[in-house]
Structure 1
């Protein structure tokens, strides 16, 4: 790891939200010190920016409203999250989903038929990940001639209200094992998902950098697509992440503010 990641021009920036811009906590959480001004400066620089999140507990509008309440200036189109993407996929393939997602995003799926499901969509269902609901998903998959599971992201765990808790990837892995299938991931670290974000930014992988607090989904996922991956020591970061056996960040920064300062110095 070195500052060699700055040698190639950076023409697009992908940012995780929770753990990079703000910390989830009681109430509405708290903005990470320096992140509001850093985000504002980055946007003002003219470098295209997208907030790339596996957040599936809220719609894009709700995410934007929450960030605005912390002082961030953004619009819905700044957000890339999995729910609208998977809805497009289901429409294209004529699939009928059984949903195990947060009630907050069920409105995203209203246009889809759900009787006699031909697939399962698994999102961050939080308290809905009950024994009963997981078993219903299992039975639904096993009743299909060709079980098809979509996982909105594949993170192992995340930090919520100051505590680490299981992410959707852990539940998807249980269903993969039980059914003998592989989930189709829509969200980080899926190469298809990163590719869609690059397309939205209008840049190539070699021109972009991803900043996140998840060593595997954020940093490793981006690097697998040829995007530079920067790890920040905020959010769910732990010191062990710096010695990950397979993922080696291009750079490790204390905060987003440090990353933005370094990027903007190269633009002068």
Structure 2
């Protein structure tokens, strides 16, 4: 087995909890840097650009640079540039995620690719029907994740997963997923850090949602 040369660290739950750094994190990151490990930081966030995420992490004292952050939108954008160069993309997310899609033409009609992230409030009947028609006309369907629901202070709330699933059923097309632990996410991550899977470890706080079948 080759020596470990790359490390992927989940952000939420590994570096911090509720934006409070965990004890020893800063020293650990410094040690990894000194030892020469290619250390990158991964997240499934779909509502902020990685520059925004880096800024927030730096504000709480974590030395994390934008260039070393890989999110589901960053992975999807990288895949688009490699496999759908010149294609038009309808990006359905909230926040400033579009900043990570530099060089990709973003549209809201006649798209070649439709990407759905954390866009629950945006997914009206009119929007869903427009996406459905694009898929039936040959557009590809990407999902930044397929989570069914999430917990809020007001109780459980539907996430984007049910909307993605509805489009899959209606169009007969399976969405390509780019959030952890989807293979596409880790493929893009390994390309970014310049390491192979055999020499890279993933550190998360949820074995199913961070690592999934890749733990085998």
TM range (shorter): 0.7 to 0.9
> Shift in Å at residue 108 of structure 1?
3.7
The verdict on how the C-alpha distance between 1:67 and 1:158 changes in structure 2, with shifts beyond 3 A counting, is farther
Q: Is the 8 A contact 2:141 2:175 kept in 1?
A: yes
Which residue number in structure 2 is paired with residue 218 of structure 1? Answer: 210
Q: Is the 8 A contact 1:16 1:218 kept in 2?
A: yes
Which of 47, 57, 61 does residue 57 from structure 1 map onto? 47
Is it true that 1:73 corresponds to 2:63 in the alignment? yes
Q: Please say which of residues 60-69 and 73-82 is displaced more in the overlay.
A: 73-82
- CA deviations over 1:66-125 (Å, ceiling 9, x no partner): 111121112111111232443344455233222220132234447514142233211123
Q: How many residues align?
A: 209
- Mapped partners of 2:144, 2:20: distance in 1: 25
Which residue number in structure 2 is paired with residue 18 of structure 1? Answer: 12
Which residue number in structure 2 is paired with residue 186 of structure 1? Answer: 178
- Mapped partners of 1:209, 1:109: distance in 2: 27
Is it true that 1:123 corresponds to 2:117 in the alignment? yes
Aligned-residue Cα RMSD (Å) equals 2.9
Is it true that 1:200 corresponds to 2:192 in the alignment? yes
> Shift in Å at residue 206 of structure 1?
1.7
- Mapped partners of 1:21, 1:158: distance in 2: 21
Structure 1: 5+ residue runs without aligned partners? Answer: 1-6, 225-268
The verdict on how the C-alpha distance between 1:51 and 1:155 changes in structure 2, with shifts beyond 3 A counting, is farther
Q: TM-score, normalised by structure 2?
A: 0.79
Alignment of 1:242-253 (within 5 A): none
Please state whether the residue corresponding to 1:103 is helix, strand or coil.
coil
Q: Is the 8 A contact 1:141 1:179 kept in 2?
A: no
- Mapped partners of 1:37, 1:95: distance in 2: 44
Alignment of 1:103-142 (within 5 A): 103-109=95-101, 111-114=104-107, 115-125=109-119, 129-130=120-121, 133-142=123-132
